[in-house]
Amino acid sequence: MKNKYEVVIDYINQRIDSGFYKAHQMIDSENELAEILNISRVTVRRAIDELVSERVLYRQHGRGTFVRSMPSYKEFRNGVGFTREVLRRNETPSSKDVELRRVFANEGIAHQLQIMVGDPVWEVRRTRCANDVPIVCEHVYFPEKLVGSLVEEDLSGSLYALLESRGIQFDYADQSLQAILADASLSEQLNIAVGDPLIKMEVIAYMENGTPFNSGSSYYQTSSFKLYQTVFNS
């Protein structure tokens, strides 16, 4: 069952995708959305705050909240979860080749997750798809002492949503991007040719208190989707 603020996010995204809200158009006010959806204004504000942080909306002081213009091509935006982004595109997310292993942190993983070498971590490998088309191979780690056991969990959906249900809330991430060529293993998983271009994204995700709860690499095929990132002058 969706959280109430996710209902608000879906409602606004659907109105953007349908063209009801157009680029640079002001959306309904917090009070209006609260009344339409029968959800508290505090929850509506939280949802809008998230869409502002995701660069879907922007605020103008004293005027209201507006829709950002988006590129015409299909893109995956950095920092936005795969599941949510695919749903936002009115497509169906899925996973294949899901593997879970309990391993012990080497020096690199321990450094990224701020744990001790040899501490147990969960290693998750899977291929994420949109409308059954393989888009990205994920190879990620989670510290067991923070997230608990993942053995009985369905790991085919949003891992961040699963962790949120355990009180682990994603706040921000360090990311690096690198252009690479697909090797035999990645080409098989993504149904592409050996040597095809990929984008490798390395991520360390943090909670609000600065504790890292996830690190790993994702390999995006570039024939169907582009990664898109807007940089703002702070």
Name the strand (E) or helix (H) holding 49: helix 41-53
Asked whether residue 48 falls in the same domain as residue 159, the answer is: no
Asked whether residue 152 falls in the same domain as residue 119, the answer is: yes
Asked whether residue 80 falls in the same domain as residue 123, the answer is: yes
* pLDDT tops 90 at residue 157: no
Within 13 Å and on the Cβ side, how many CA atoms surround 81? 19
* Domain of residue 61, CATH code: 1.10.10.10
| pLDDT score for 173 | 85
pTM of the model: 0.65
Asked whether residue 122 falls in the same domain as residue 23, the answer is: no
* pLDDT tops 90 at residue 98: yes
pLDDT tens profile 18-42 = 889 988 899 999 999 999 999 999 9
Asked whether residue 54 falls in the same domain as residue 137, the answer is: no
Which residues does 150 contact at the CB level (< 8 Å), separation at least 6? 100, 122, 124, 142
Contact 6, 14 (CB under 8 A): no
Residue 188's domain comprises 75-228
- Domain presence at residue 178: yes
pLDDT tens profile 176-186 = 889 999 999 99
- Domain presence at residue 234: no
* pLDDT tops 50 at residue 78: no
> How high is the mean pLDDT of the chain?
86
Asked whether residue 214 falls in the same domain as residue 172, the answer is: yes
Asked whether residue 84 falls in the same domain as residue 157, the answer is: yes
Q: How far apart are CA 221 and CA 234, in angstroms?
A: 31
Find the mean pLDDT for residues 159-173: 87
| pLDDT score for 4 | 86
Asked whether residue 61 falls in the same domain as residue 123, the answer is: no
Find the mean pLDDT for residues 70-87: 57
- Domain presence at residue 61: yes
